Structure 1
Amino acid sequence: MIKIDDLVVAYGGIEALKGISLEVPSGKIVTLVGANGAGKSTTLKSIVGLVKPKSGNIDYEGTDLTKINTEKMVKKGIALVPEGRRVFADLTVLENLKIGAYSRNDHHGIEEDLEKVYELFPRLKERTWQAAGTLSGGEQQMLAIGRALMSRPKLIMMDEPSLGLAPIIVKELFEIIKKINKEGMTVLLIEQNANAALKIADIGYIMETGRIILTGTGKELLHNEEIKKAYLGESL
């Protein structure tokens, strides 16, 4: 679905990505794991056009994403759940969700997808008319995911969805990510929480200072001794 080849991104004279290559196959959960500053978010920003690469290619189903704008990406079936959730605080839950469908004009389909989001996140249905800024952190994260789903994407990308959330909410969110994937959606997950991410990932990439240093199935990486020491704690 997405193939990144030899991608270099520089901020000023400093290279944040130093020629990374990776693939996100259709129907899979792929995770990028690494510490702060490893280059995970820069990779995501490059895919959605928020950062222009110095060199390299990002191929999405035959289209070079470095050559098109972000709005066209939404129409091609790519959705982003940004770091920090970024909900519209003064708008209601329902208004936030409908903003996710801004590029669509199929009224009936939008109503169907609203119901699907409410099935995934019953708490959002209970708070339809509540201002998004008054929701808890976990509820805002659910809303951000629901909003992305409203564009009916083929690929959903999530930037640090577990950040700042209680462990019980993190567990719930990751179960929902698995459910979304089982329904046929491809997921690219950017995470510092290596343990949670690798447990659900088909494929994992470990990033360090702008490079991919290791790749494998989620299970392989979970049981890799180096990864255990660096990211999971030796006891896990």
Structure 2
Amino acid sequence: MLEIKDLHVSYGGIRALRGVSLEVPDGKIVTLIGANGAGKSTLLRTITGLVKAESGSIRWDGKELRGKSIDRIIGEGIAMSPEGRRVFTDLTVLENLKMGAYLRRDKAEIELDVNWVYELFPRLKERSWQLAGTLSGGEQQMLAVGRALMSRPKLMMLDEPSLGLAPLVVQDIFSIIREINRQGVTVLLIEQNANMALKIADLAYVLETGNITLSGTGAELLANESVKEAYLGKRR
């Protein structure tokens, strides 16, 4: 389980996170919704060590992550697919996937995991020798998720996986998120498409200006009138 308690993060005097506390239970899909600038991406970047917290605790399976190096955090079984995909455009699909396994030394198992990713994303297998920069936006998103999976994570964090994608591609991405979870990977999902995210979430949180203001099951937040008004495009 990932346990975050009273986490405070500041950027140049601006408080990005103001005492955030939440839990991500093993084997569940947990989603975090909120407006742009609420601090969602900052939270993920702090968990992975890219951003340093001022105070608070980030515990994973009982171990404190705060202050650990990025490679140590990855080694603990945490991976992130970042906002904007960030694929290596001048490398092939296969080379990108193998970059996700750069901390691993088990070559035979790496090959098995490449094939696992290809089973999840058949389109990537078809384009394995294509340069990542020539893929469509949806294909690049699949590659970013597949690359993160190559570290064999216990916890997969996804930052805006549907951003800028066509509706049919978004459906595919969310189907894959469900399948990844069914295969034993815990998921922490940040997503602007609150309707889709809440439908697949076991547990959900609302983050507003650096504070958790609401939590519950995905179904509970879908039915919440304030959530409907603020994030689902519905009016009372």
Which category of TM-score, normalised to the shorter sequence, fits these structures?
over 0.9
* Residue type of the alignment partner of 1:16: A
Amino acid of the residue matched to residue 233 of structure 1?
G
Equivalent in the alignment of 2:2: 2
Contact in 1 for aligned 2:29/2:189 (Cα 8 Å): yes
Residue aligning to 2:22: 22
Q: 2:43 and 2:57 mapped to 1: Cα distance?
A: 12
**1:215 & 1:75 partners in 2: Cα distance?**
30
Match of 1:88 in 2: 88
Distance across 2 between alignment mates of 1:79 and 1:18? 24
Say if 2:228 is the partner of 1:221.
Answer: no
Q: What does the per-residue CA deviation read over 1:193-227, in whole Å, with 9 as the maximum and x for residues that have no partner?
A: 10111010000001111101100000110111110
Distance 2:209 2:67 in 1: 26
RMSD of the alignment, in Å? 1.0
Question: Which whole-Å CA distance do the structure 1 matches of 2:155 and 2:201 have between them?
Answer: 15
Q: 1:230 to 1:161 in 2, by over 3 A?
A: same
Cα separation, 1, equivalents of 2:85 and 2:181: 20
Equivalence map 1:1-236=2 (5 Å): 1-234=1-234
Please give the secondary structure, in 1, of the residue aligned with 2:66.
helix
What TM-score do you get using the length of structure 1 for normalisation?
Answer: 0.98
Query: Stretches of 4+ moved more than 6 A in 1?
Result: none
Q: CA deviation at 1:67?
A: 2.1
- Equivalent residues of 2:34, 2:192 under 8 A apart: yes
How many residues were matched structurally? Answer: 236
Q: In the alignment, is the contact (CA less than 8 A) between 2:82 and 2:159 conserved in 1?
A: yes
User: Share of identical aligned residues, percent?
Assistant: 67
TM-score normalised by the chain length of structure 2: 0.98
Which letter does structure 1 place at the counterpart of 2:234? E
**Which residue type is aligned with residue 75 of structure 1?**
G
For the 8 Å contact 2:52–2:67, the answer to whether it is kept is no
Q: Give per-residue Cα distances to partners, 1:141-200, cap 9 Å, x unaligned.
A: 000000011111100001111111111111110010000001110000011110111010
Unaligned 5+ segments in structure 1 are none
Give the C-alpha shift of residue 235 in structure 1. 6.7
Once residues 13 and 92 of structure 2 are traced to their aligned partners in structure 1, the CA distance between those partners, rounded to angstroms, is 43
User: Which letter maps to 1:160?
Assistant: E
Query: Which structure 2 segments of 5+ residues have no match?
Result: none
Q: Deviations over 1:11-38 (max 9, x none)?
A: 1221111101000000000011001001
Measure, in 2, the Cα distance between the counterparts of 1:186 and 1:204. Answer: 14
Equivalent pair of 2:34/2:40 in contact (CA under 8 Å): yes
Counterpart Cα distance in 2 of 1:29 and 1:219: 13
Q: Which amino acid aligns with 2:61?
A: E
Query: In 2, distance between residues paired with 1:126 and 1:16?
Result: 42
